Structure 1
């Protein structure tokens, strides 16, 4: 295979825009392609481009070899919770390298998981408790359609904070886009405050609210979220208490929201959308019998909770140990 063909393959692979991972990991250099792609689909697009230019394409095996050896790329798969603690313990068991301290940590971890699930089930069954679970969905790229030229275009990233209320059994989706927000704690705090305002609008008699989320510290367990909730309580004095509860790391307790994500992803797989507005139309069709409440986040909904939180001694709070 001549060098020119190799460079053409590399240029073609590089022409696909990368998207953000769901996880904000600064210590990884891996980049992600949108989930509608795979190597075979990319190769088909490469052959189409060669045909248009009158060039001879390389074999699929060679294209795949270059993709695997010359690039650090993966495809943006839907978020799945994997427990680092359990994975490490199972690996140690297989290698017969389990120490007494490993056994103790795993026993405590499993006890924490059991206690967490019992607590979550208690909140589900308590009809007098206003319980809301929420989670950030995988990054969604827009537009999305089976049009070959779209795969090479830079995409607009869309973000969903999805939520489910235990009393009404109703799902909510708070939609934002990259031009006005991201996935940081300040963005999530602003969306969470808007969600709680909607909950309070539906339940004006509520005096206590319980929230459930995952244990992601940069997004959910931090001083920015803590200040946002304190500020919400100050502005809504009829609410006496908000209790925030977190899943044991690696073991999700927000299955209702996970189920919403699954239905949304299935709807997207069968639909095309070209803008945030047309994406909203897809969301409205996900659950026709009990349609999701859609809230389009506006720039006026976002607050700088981070700057305000720095005025308080939140460094004294061990957020990483809160459970």
Structure 2
């Protein structure tokens, strides 16, 4: 799969390698898309999406166990991107077409780190600057937008913090909109933010408490532009004055947009981060043995109102499958939310 195609005489005569099934145009498209990704982790995810695994037919009870074979599928990154975007647009159309407004579609992402203080005076220097993080939510149906920001003395960038904020936001939204029965959430596939067991436990708890069907969907790797990204650019363009403290950022965010309504802004303190007292499951890996699908390949997760968890691997007409994990039978009333931090964090 290099810049030059396979020229092996054995491959031309072999009936096992199937090199002839890939035309030069297909090979060039895969090669170009692979190198277009900005990092090796993104390229690895791209390859995993193009690969399927099967077991070789061998003699029963063979000493070497069950060897596996890897097959390359004729799918390129652009098609994966197009399918994901088309599905996101279709979700929005479906939500807007319902007269009872029982479906809501959201996109969310974390803005790039904002350094504080910021000033236009080039003569001012600081030995250290405070890092500020901003988690944004965008309602694709109503265009309502929310900003939850905190600095590094109030909380870290870890899975539990993002899970706590996402649970709080959607719990508040569903409490004020009891007619919502289907919640669709689109995001990128960042593992510690959006694709981990900690967040999955929170979403499962939310689906049980609010009696909704919650769908968590991921865009294709390297093509994660969403509606909520417009919030980031609007906020950055509004940073025209000096910013000395994180409190100044609140004014910047609240005045960044006027129509259809200003952004809702909440400054998060360390006391706002909570953690679940217990977990129903410890993994969201869709496979159990070597060669099975892994977490990075997940494209859909469905949390039902009865506690069941289903998943898909590709953005196509694939059947929903049960997540192969053991789910503990814990009543929703037995789950408590405990403070994650007892005090503010030291800046190192």
TM > 0.5 between the two? yes
Give the aligned partner of residue 210 of structure 1: 184
Post-superposition Cα deviations, 1:71-122, rounded to whole Å, max 9, x if no partner, equal xxxxxxxxxxxx998251699xxxxxxxxx99x5673433322211110110
- Secondary structure of the 2:203 match is helix
Post-superposition Cα deviations, 1:4-23, rounded to whole Å, max 9, x if no partner, equal xxxxxxxxxxxxxxxxxxxx
Give the CA deviation at 1:252: 1.3
CA contact (8 A) 1:212 1:253 kept: no
Q: 2:33 aligns with which of 83, 86, 90?
A: 86
Give the aligned partner of residue 220 of structure 2: 248
Give the CA deviation at 1:320: 1.3
Unpaired stretches in structure 2, ≥5 consecutive residues: 1-29, 39-49, 52-71, 287-293, 300-348
Give the CA deviation at 1:304: 2.8
Give the aligned partner of residue 39 of structure 1: none
CA contact (8 A) 2:183 2:213 kept: yes
Rate the CA distance shift 1:85–1:296 in 2: closer, same or farther, 3 A.
Answer: farther
Q: How does 1:80-229 map to 2 (within 5 A)?
A: 86-88=33-35, 107-126=75-94, 127=96, 128=98, 129-148=103-122, 150-229=124-203
Give the aligned partner of residue 294 of structure 1: 265
Q: 2:247 aligns with which of 255, 273, 277?
A: 277
Give the aligned partner of residue 26 of structure 1: none
CA contact (8 A) 2:33 2:76 kept: no
Unpaired stretches in structure 1, ≥5 consecutive residues: 1-82, 92-100
Give the CA deviation at 1:170: 1.2
Rate the CA distance shift 1:148–1:228 in 2: closer, same or farther, 3 A.
Answer: same
Give the CA deviation at 1:242: 0.8
Greater percentage in strand: 2
Matches of 1:134 and 1:89, distance apart in 2:
24
CA contact (8 A) 2:104 2:182 kept: yes
Rate the CA distance shift 1:253–1:123 in 2: closer, same or farther, 3 A.
Answer: farther
CA contact (8 A) 2:115 2:130 kept: yes
Task: Give the paired residue count.
Answer: 226
Post-superposition Cα deviations, 1:115-148, rounded to whole Å, max 9, x if no partner, equal 1111011012121420111001101111111244
Give the aligned partner of residue 13 of structure 1: none
CA contact (8 A) 2:113 2:131 kept: yes
Give the CA deviation at 1:314: 1.2
Give the aligned partner of residue 267 of structure 1: 238
With normalisation by structure 2, the TM-score equals 0.59
With normalisation by structure 1, the TM-score equals 0.63
Give the CA deviation at 1:316: 4.4
- The CA RMSD over aligned residues, in Å, is 2.9
CA contact (8 A) 1:144 1:150 kept: no
- Secondary structure of the 2:257 match is coil
Give the aligned partner of residue 47 of structure 1: none
Matches of 2:198 and 2:31, distance apart in 1:
26
Rate the CA distance shift 1:144–1:253 in 2: closer, same or farther, 3 A.
Answer: closer
